[in-house]
Amino acid sequence: MQIHIVADAAEGAEVVADVFARTLQEAGDSGAVLGLATGSSPVPAYTELIRRHREEGLSFAGSRAFLLDEYVGLPADHEQSYHRFIRENFTAHIDIDDAAVLSPDGATSDPVAEAASYDRRIREAGGVDLQILGIGSNGHIAFNEPGSSLASRTRVVGLTRSTIEDNARYFSSPSEVPVRALSQGLGTILEARRIVLTASGAGKAAAVAQLAEGAISARWPATALQMHPDVVVVVDEAAASRLELAEYYRYSRRLEVEHPLEV
């Protein structure tokens, strides 16, 4: 796990966008399979990727994308659906076919069957090349709340009170936040070939500390990422404030920049 401690959201967005650009370059003309997250954390990176597309020619042509999750009960055109969010904040502004951006159907009459179908579609696409993640204050990634199995697959999950309260800022009141979601499982996420997680603010500091330095536990679902061979974590100073090994991470980053390995 590589930990990048950055000064602000702009610097963090550049680091995340670099990981995307490298993945797209490696995929070549066939395009990459991208795993996309919603919420406030990835937005600066999406903004930087849009800029690189428009100003530097970064292309997503041929790529496909799978969203991490969706609220149960919200149709795709609902103003708070993640289907709509990702298009308004990212994919409508780059050269990716809209039909190639897939999300769970929150309005389905059978969410259990939809979860299994969505998990299968990811596998049939060859798996995800790069998954971007945020992290909740309780350590959840996607909607894998504390107590989630580390081997879990895409499924219907109930949202905790803290997650509902965190997401209430996007709704008129907490009572309007759906109480269930369709979410990729931790086992599904861990099958991505590369993962980048971004977080900012002191409210995420405890979760980031557990993610990087805590014991692997369902109590903090993000700790499952410690088992993955290619994870980049990008956090600002506030989110990094409880990392005991922060100076080592800074040193490792300087070493990487000043004395890169010859390959």
pLDDT tens track, the chain, 263 positions: 999 999 999 999 999 999 999 999 999 999 999 999 998 899 999 999 999 999 999 999 999 999 999 999 999 999 999 999 999 999 999 999 999 999 999 999 999 999 999 999 999 999 999 999 999 999 999 999 999 999 999 999 998 888 888 888 888 888 889 999 999 999 999 999 999 999 999 999 999 999 999 999 999 999 999 999 999 999 999 999 999 999 999 999 888 888 887 75
CA distance 243 to 180: 32
Question: Of 69, 70, 114, 166, which one is the catalytic site residue?
Answer: 69
Which domains, from first to last, does the chain contain? 2-258 (3.40.50.1360)
Report the amino acid identity of residue 167.
N
Measured CA angle at 44 (ends 32, 134), to 5 deg? 70
Q: Is 89 a catalytic residue?
A: no
Environment class of residue 66 by beta-carbon count within 10 Å: exposed (0-12), middle (13-18) or buried (19+)?
A: buried
Q: Is 69 a catalytic residue?
A: yes
Q: Is 98 a catalytic residue?
A: no
Question: Of 129, 140, 144, 236, which one is the catalytic site residue?
Answer: 140
Provide the total of helices (H) and of strands (E) in the chain, helices listed first: 8, 10
What is the pTM (predicted TM-score) of this model?
0.94
Q: Is 230 a catalytic residue?
A: no
Environment class of residue 14 by beta-carbon count within 10 Å: exposed (0-12), middle (13-18) or buried (19+)?
A: middle
